[in-house]
Structure 1
Amino acid sequence: MPDAKISLQDIARRLGVSAKTVSGALHGDGSIRMAEGTRARIKALADELGYVPNMVARGMRQGVMPIIGIVADGLITQPFATEILRAFDNSVRTEGLSVVVTSVGDPSTVEASVAELQRFMPRAIAYAAMYHQVVDLPKAARGAVKLMINCRDSEGEIASLVPAEREAAEAIVNHLFDRGRKSIAFLNLPGLLAGTMREDGFRAAHAARGLAPNEAWIRPATRGPLYSDRARSLVFAHVQEMLSGPVRPDAILCGNDRVALEAYNTLRRIGARIPEDVAVASFDNQVEIAARLDPPLTTMALPHRAIGRRAAEILAGQGRRANSIEEIPFRLVERASV
């Protein structure tokens, strides 16, 4: 059984070289020059003896540990948003790094959470949010946070990875047009950045075809200034009204899959068939909803896994550097509702 306590000094003594040379060969320090034969002998003996790097000691010497810190604003409480952390964790592990996550409930705790993570001497710290939003970090935390994940820095100073909301809306509207739909209603998410950007994309897709959307069919899915589970739903009233007039939409784009679920229920209650009478499309691809509706829902999948993988690439120092704001594209999931 390999001896886990073999040290750099042990290997150095056996080969008659310095511990610094052994460290350079095993830890990839390009500043230490040596013959390739020497490097190969050191690696071979380390493998034979079962040398295990003391990452803690190495981290103490270098002033950083093989750790990435994440300040998570509600991210770990949302079933589909956790895909960001899952993909991130899987990716950084391939680089020999570990992830330490601290959850924050309100902005007043962000500074303390960043300070707590700094005690671990992480290689980098990122801030991640459960949905696309603008975040105003406290001044004391700004210098420590290297990357914003699924959110934007209010000052535009910190690199940010966000979903390409406008592009996604253009893509799904074009898909509806390409499938023969001509009159599209939009039940949007009020008060959310995603809703604003998706409406921009909705309008842009119409404009690109020389069309103007029916303004009376662009409506909020809930009452109040902000979409939330607690807000009163307006879906039933809106769908019923739009389909009771002489001019009716032949497609309804929903702000997310939960809104689409309500639209399905309303259409069934008033005797409209999906997709024969009205097509329904959406955003998010919450599989527990979208794939189980009847018929299954066509939707734009949030790029959570891609965001997690790209964040890992940036923070591990691999691949290209982050842009100021980097938009990650959604993926169209075609099902039977269109």
Structure 2
Amino acid sequence: MTIRDVAQRAGVSSATVSLVLNNVADSRVSAATAERVRAAASELAYAPNLVARGLRRRRTNTIAVLSDEIATTPFASRMIGAIQDVAMRNGLLVFMVNTAGDPETERSAVVAFNQQQVDGFVYACLYHRVVDLPPGLGSNVVVLDGRTRRPRFPAVVPDDRGGARAAVTELLAHGHRRIGFVNDYSATVAADLRLKGYRDALREHGVRFDKRAVRNAEPGLEPSAEAAVRLHEDAGVTALFCFNDRVAIGAYHGLRRHGLAVPRDVSVVGFDDQEFVADYADPPLTTVALPHYAMGQWAAEELIERINGGTDQPRVCEMPCELVRRGSVGPPRADGT
């Protein structure tokens, strides 16, 4: 099927079909004629040759997503879904490679994508971190859920500090003043920012920071369970803010084994809003949602703007993190235990 077939069906010239299907402004084609051309193209199932169009415009209408682990992790798959949605609305095809964080795989992927002459790259991370980008990406690059050491390219990250502040503020609003924090044992960007947000909320409400109320837990339910129990017994906390939802579930287990109920004895707030974890906890976990879809959408739209010659400012967007209220927060016990 060719453009000539569409022109013959619509009773117009091939040039008119080209003007209509390429959405050329000021083409002086009447609305009725344009509608007739689109109807003919639809009836004939005609699709423009995007390769040829791309060659004329020196574009391939493709973008690449270079990720460490998110392409194989359901936890962050909404970022990928958002990129695909934006790409489809703009007539772009998305290529994707999951590198498992291996530098050699990254370099090979960049070479392969450049051979395909992709129009730009989204460099995507599973969690908020500082990244060293591989060479060869060019100038049309956006970093998703990470940032470079020096501001070179646009980047979008969750507002970890603001999300933590909102989580602790929720506990303070319920009357808690002895609030513990089970943080990640790794010195990640997110761990540092969430600790700062925790301290921000305490300071804003006139509550003195007590370093005994903060414990770092290694991965796994048992370390989190132990940290939660120790904070309750040694620091006398009546509420816990947890680095993520998995840490919060570990805290649930530890508290329950010691005869403590959530939220009757200890209130708990998580972070991430991980599907099938936070909402299926018993009781359902109040948590802070990571804005995966919104971040993916922002990254794709920013990349398209750069490809189209828009802004080249290396700004960092901190995407707000919404508090999701469920059933794990209540007032402290009247007897203070």
How would you bin the TM-score normalised by the shorter chain? Answer: 0.7 to 0.9
> In the aligned structure 2, how far is the partner of 1:135 from the partner of 1:121?
24
| Contact 2:152–2:314 (8 Å) recurs in 1 | no
Return the letter of the residue paired with 1:119.
Q
The letter of the residue matching 2:135 is K
* Paired residues of 2:177 and 2:207 also in contact (CA < 8 A): no
Q: Conserved in 2, the CA contact under 8 Å of 1:6 and 1:49?
A: no
Q: 1:40 to 1:240 in 2, by over 3 A?
A: closer
| Deviation string, structure 1 residues 162-195 (Cα, Å, up to 9, x no partner) | 1110010011111111122111000101311101
Q: Which moved more, 1:86-95 or 1:287-296?
A: 86-95
Is the alpha carbon distance of 1:326 and 1:8 closer, same or farther for their aligned partners in structure 2, counting shifts above 3 Å? farther
Q: 1:47, CA displacement in angstroms?
A: 4.4
Does the C-alpha gap of structure 1 residues 36 and 323 become closer, same or farther in structure 2, counting only changes over 3 Å?
farther
1:10, CA displacement in angstroms? 5.9
1:328 paired to 2:324: no
Q: 1:13 to 1:84 in 2, by over 3 A?
A: closer
Question: Which AA in structure 2 matches 1:241?
Answer: R
Q: Distance in 2 between matches of 1:79 and 1:49?
A: 39
Q: How does 1:175-186 map to 2 (within 5 A)?
A: 175-186=170-181
Instruction: Write out per-residue CA displacement over residues 96-117 of structure 1, whole angstroms, 9 at most, x where no aligned residue.
Output: 2221101213123323212211
Q: CA deviation at 1:63?
A: 2.4
Alignment of 1:53-64 (within 5 A): 53-64=48-59
Identify the residue that residue 335 of structure 2 maps to in structure 1: none
Which residue in 2 is equivalent to 1:36? 30
Query: Does 2:146 match 1:151?
Result: yes
Moved more, 119-128 or 172-181: 119-128
Show the counterpart of 2:238: 250
Matches within 5 A, 1:60-71: 60-71=55-66
Q: Which of 295, 299, 303 pairs up with 2:283?
A: 295
Q: Distance in 1 between matches of 2:4 and 2:111?
A: 33
Contact 1:235–1:263 at 8 Å: present in 2 too? yes
Query: Is the CA contact 1:221–1:255 (under 8 Å) kept in the aligned structure 2?
Result: no
Determine the structure 2 residue equivalent to 1:84.
Answer: 79
Cα distance, 1:155–1:110 mapped onto 2, change above 3 Å: farther
In percent, how many aligned pairs have the same letter?
33
Q: Which amino acid aligns with 2:28?
A: M
Q: 2:269 is matched with which residue?
A: 281
Q: Compute the displacement of 1:80 (Å).
A: 0.7
User: Aligned with 1:180: secondary structure?
Assistant: coil
Report which stretch shifted further, 313-322 or 299-308: 313-322
Aligned partners of 1:127 and 1:317: how far apart in 2?
A: 16
Measure the CA separation in 2 of the matches of 1:9 and 1:296.
60
Partner of 2:224: 235
Partners in 2 of 1:120 and 1:12 — Cα distance?
35
Q: Distance in 1 between matches of 2:300 and 2:135?
A: 25
- Structure 1 distance, partners of 2:27, 2:228, is 72
> So what's the TM-score if we normalise by structure 1?
0.86
Equivalent position to 1:172, from 167, 172, 181:
167
What residue number does 2:206 align with? 210
Deviations 1:198-243 (A, max 9, x none): 1111111111122222211111012xxxxx45xx953343333332
Gaps of at least 5 residues in structure 2 are 330-337
Q: Conserved in 1, the CA contact under 8 Å of 2:122 and 2:300? A: no
Residue type of the alignment partner of 2:30: E
Question: Unaligned stretches of 5+ in structure 1?
Answer: 223-227
Relative to 1, partners in 2 of residues 1:184 and 1:51: Cα closer, same or farther, differing over 3 Å? same
Instruction: Report what 1:225 is aligned to.
Output: none
Task: Tell me which moved more, 203-212 or 58-67.
Answer: 58-67
Quick one: structure 1 residues 10 and 187, their matched pair in 2 at CA, closer, same or farther if it must change by over 3 Å? closer
Contact 2:125 2:144 in 1 (8 A): yes
Q: Which amino acid aligns with 1:202?
A: Y
Q: Tell me the secondary structure at the aligned position of residue 82 of structure 1.
A: helix
Partner of 2:252: 264
CA contact 1:185–1:252 (8 Å) conserved in 2: yes
- Count of aligned positions: 323
Letter in 2 for 1:116: A
Q: Cα offset for 1:56?
A: 2.3
- Rounded Cα–Cα distance in structure 2 between residues aligned with 1:40 and 1:261: 57
* Secondary structure at the counterpart of residue 80 of structure 1: helix
SS in structure 2 of the partner of residue 283 of structure 1: coil
| Alpha-carbon RMSD | 2.7
Counterpart Cα distance in 2 of 1:219 and 1:288:
26
